[in-house]
Structure 1
Amino acid sequence: MPQLDSRIGNFGVQLSSTPRGARLARLLATEQLRAWGLPTGPAAHIVAELATNAVTHGRVAGRDFRLLLYVVGGTLRIEVTDTRGEHRPQPQHPTDDAESGRGLLLIDALADRWGVTEGPAPRKTVWAEVRVSPDPGEPCSGATGGLPQRPRE
């Protein structure tokens, strides 16, 4: 694994708010992570979910979304900004046979931390952080996105 203690990297791109733009976000992120010498998982999955949410729930005709990746030390931060600031992500607990509604649950499971930052209007940014150089003495604390726990049946 590469030494990341002093590593700083930054990558940003503006993409169309279409399914093609969401797919391109994942491909570009994967290639950038490889160029930095970082593992692509789970970051590629997080990018895919955030980009899909941006084009599905944050789309405004004629407006793009923005993907930003940056790494500082041992943490990779993924940000996806769209222009529907009034539509905050709403975590769901879908039924077992539901075909959608699991995106934020996946982000919560894969990321060490995640959240939403508002503004400037009309924008919002959904972000997630993943440790890419974990401290071996520190257990993973899990995500802190604030999802309510699903009741066990």
Structure 2
Amino acid sequence: MNDDELTFTIRLSATPRGARLARRLTVQQLLDWARPFEKAEHLVAELANNAITHGRVPGRDFRLTLKLTSTNTLRIEVTDTRGDSTPPPLPQHPPLDAESGRGLVLIDALADHWGTTLGPMPTKSVWAELDVSK
């Protein structure tokens, strides 16, 4: 860890309860760091939901990591254990009447940058960065 960087990380159950807890913990951590949390809250909600929906392996958790740099960049990483069998996610525009499928479109709209990182096997991290200057 860089001395100019604050980090929070936690493993959570790959369940709807774990995803809700990830969102709540993100809000609390950013309040503790005295940074705005609204965009980050939405990003974590989408990333965690994707991890429990598409990256879930029974009996395995997902990991939430928040990194705040000295330049006020917040990097949000959600790591699941399905990196070995799923392709990197891509935003898709679902039909207007679809009830789901807009998560990555929302992530793309809210984040300054986002992407995926594979490994170590069998993990995959989907990350998003945003400026959290006051």
TM-score range with shorter-chain normalisation? over 0.9
Rounded Cα–Cα distance in structure 1 between residues aligned with 2:58 and 2:5: 35
Q: Structure 2 unaligned runs (5+)?
A: none
Q: Structure 1 unaligned runs (5+)?
A: 1-5, 135-153
**Residue of structure 2 in register with 1:91 after alignment:** 91
TM-score relative to the length of structure 2: 0.92
What's the CA shift string for 1:36-72, capped at 9, x where partnerless?
0010110000000000000000000000000000100
What's the offset of the Cα at 1:89? 1.4
Rounded Cα–Cα distance in structure 2 between residues aligned with 1:129 and 1:22: 19
For 1:131-142, what aligned pairs fall within 5 Å after superposition? 131-133=131-133
Give yes or no for the alignment of 1:40 onto 2:16.
no
What's the CA shift string for 1:17-46, capped at 9, x where partnerless?
001000000000110000000101100000
Q: Percent identity?
A: 64
* 4+ residue segments displaced more than 4 Å: none
Rounded Cα–Cα distance in structure 2 between residues aligned with 1:62 and 1:90: 26
Q: Provide the alpha-carbon RMSD of the alignment.
A: 1.4
Higher share of residues assigned helix = 2
**Residue of structure 1 in register with 2:50 after alignment:** 53
SS of aligned partner of 2:38: coil
Across the two proteins, how many residue pairs are aligned to each other? 129
Larger Cα Rg: Structure 1 or Structure 2? 1
